[in-house]
Copies of this chain bind each other. A is one copy, B any other.
């Protein structure tokens, strides 16, 4: 029997699943969660501090920051600027001592598939400075960091593992650190295009969409690899799973009084649930995604937000000069 499991790339959601599985427990060994509110933003930091926690939550040891923006951020200039500076501040906390360091930014994903085009779109909006600093020594006094970037494509359109391309490029560019940008899958529609994930553990391109490719991390690339992600879809099967889960919970509530039915309900998950789901889905449904109708516009705005945040973060020592001298 195929297993139809919930697909999420958000550590926050992995942690929520843990809590859902063991509702009476608040703390897990090796997993520390802090949440704070900042203006309209909800910022959650999940720290996975040891192998115990890593095994439990299914994520590497490291720090994961989730910034949830609610509905506001896309509409007013004020909210946009606030989000941009919050993201830049969180990046500064996550990535220390960047002065004079060369950064290679990787825009993962397929530019021909709208919800997967986030990474390449971010790359196209960055202030790229490495070649200018190389050819115009005077610019070096301006305190800008050398930034270079690449959108390597995906296995299906290159025939080459993305990790291989990046290794090849990194071997020649020799960056001090790498930031990879990718579109992710969430479990919840209300997070789609309204949430940004930052982490210091690298990323496995394509992991959110089913296939685990070779990971991008300090292990494989030799320098620190940070990742920025935005959930742009919910997997259709995950959505159905969540629907069923919610329905069963609702049914349980209603039938609590009737002992027999309640015990039956308790029995049906989780194995039988898989069988139920396998009856609902059609062949090809594993490629179905749930996404807002306005996805094209949302991707445009989110990619601009991330590119701007990166520009502010990386060149914060001389951002005003950057704005004046470079077309962004």
Contacts and interface: CB of A to CB of B under 8 A. Distances in A.
The A interface is mostly helix, strand or loop, or mixed, namely helix
Shortest 7 CB-CB contacts between residues of A and residues of B: A168-B168, A148-B159, A130-B159, A128-B159, A246-B280, A190-B282, A168-B172
B240 A243 contact: yes
A260 interface: yes
Contacts of A247: 244, 247, 276, 280
A151 interface: yes
13 contacts: A74-B327, A77-B323, A111-B111, A112-B297, A131-B160, A150-B153, A164-B169, A189-B284, A190-B284, A192-B288, A260-B260, A287-B292, A289-B292
A325 to B, nearest CB: 8
A131 B112 contact: no
A157 B77 CA distance: 21
Interface in A265-289: 268, 272, 275-276, 279-280, 282-285, 287-289
Interface string A249-263: 011001100101100
Contacts of A284: 71, 189-190, 292
A255 B268 CA distance: 11
Contacts of A157: 123-124, 128, 149
Interface stretch (A34-42, A88-96, A113-121): A113-121
B171 A169 contact: no
A188 B281 CA distance: 10
B71 A160 contact: no
A75 interface: yes
Interface in A150-172: 150-153, 155-161, 164-165, 167-172
A298 to B, nearest CB: 11
A85 interface: no
Interface of A: 71, 74-77, 111-116, 123-124, 128-132, 146-153, 155-161, 164-165, 167-173, 188-190, 192, 209, 233, 236, 239-240, 242-244, 246-247, 250-251, 254-255, 258, 260-261, 264, 268, 272, 275-276, 279-280, 282-285, 287-297, 323-324, 327
Given A123-B157, A189-B285, A113 B294 contact: yes
Nearest to A192: B288
Nearest to A268: B251
Contacts of A288: 189, 192, 290-293
Given A172-B168, A290-B288, A160 B150 contact: yes
A242 to B, nearest CB: 8
Nearest to A164: B172
Contact of A149 (B76, B112, B159): B159
A192 B289 CA distance: 12
Contacts of A116: 293
A149 B275 CA distance: 41
